[in-house]
């Protein structure tokens, strides 16, 4: 299963009131671990937070192709799962956020 670099999808409607109009509120840079062409590397993704024009609820854009909790792309997670236990210890010692 092949996955691409993380992709950003802005919200289409407010999850609280259903309004489809948003104001851009803030921006952050998130760093994700990725595995491309037999190399582990860090990918920076610029995420944006939106505020609903109707009720003021704030929500982040969605990220496809990466886990927001572990800050890793799905490609990296699948590659990491295929490694043996000793190989994982070596990788985690040599890769740091």
Tell me the per-residue pLDDT of 72-89, one tens digit each, with 9 for 90 and over.
999 888 888 888 666 666
Residues 6 or more apart whose Cβ sits within 8 Å of residue 85: none
Burial of 72 (0-12, 13-18, 19+ CB in 10 A): buried
Confidence of residue 68 (pLDDT cuts 50, 70, 90): confident
pTM metric for this prediction: 0.69
Higher pLDDT, 57 or 90: 57
What phi and psi, each to the nearest 5 degrees, are found at residue 77? -65, -45
């Amino acid at each position: 299963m092949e996955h691409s670099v993380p992709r950003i999808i802005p919200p289409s409607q407010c999850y609280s009131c259903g309004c489809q109009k948003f104001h851009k509120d803030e921006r952050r840079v998130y760093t994700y671990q990725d595995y491309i062409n037999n190399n582990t590397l860090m990918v920076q993704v610029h995420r944006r937070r939106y505020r609903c024009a109707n009720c003021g609820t704030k929500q982040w854009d969605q990220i496809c192709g990466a886990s927001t909790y572990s800050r890793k792309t799905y490609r990296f997670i699948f590659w990491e799962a295929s490694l043996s236990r000793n190989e994982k210890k070596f990788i985690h010692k040599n890769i740091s956020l």
